[in-house]
Amino acid sequence: MWIEAEPVYGALVSLAIGLIIGLERGWQVRQLGDNQRIAGMRTYGLIGLLGGVCALLLPTLGAWLALLGLLTVVAGCCQPWEPGWPCSAC
């Protein structure tokens, strides 16, 4: 079974856009300390990929998927963050 290339390209483009935005944001705050940076390449890349996957699945699963993706991003942004929370490796 072969995977169609066009949807994969769309997801890769959304990932690339997220990585570029994350690179630019990381470059702007490069002088801040380690625990003062909020989001960088990985965060924006994952958010871009989530948006691309939601856009790919939107025709089959409907608008509820877009709402679920938005709520996932909002819930991730609203998490309290402190060193050592929820694990000591953070």
Band (pLDDT 50/70/90 cuts) for residue 16 is very high
Interval 58-89: pLDDT, tens = 888 888 877 887 788 777 766 665 555 554 44
| Selection from 40, 13, 11, 42 nearest residue 27 by Cα | 40
Is 79 buried (19+), middle (13-18) or exposed (0-12) by CB count in 10 A? exposed
pTM over 0.75: no
**Spatial contact of 53 and 66, defined as CB atoms under 8 Å apart:** no
| Domain range list for the chain | 5-77
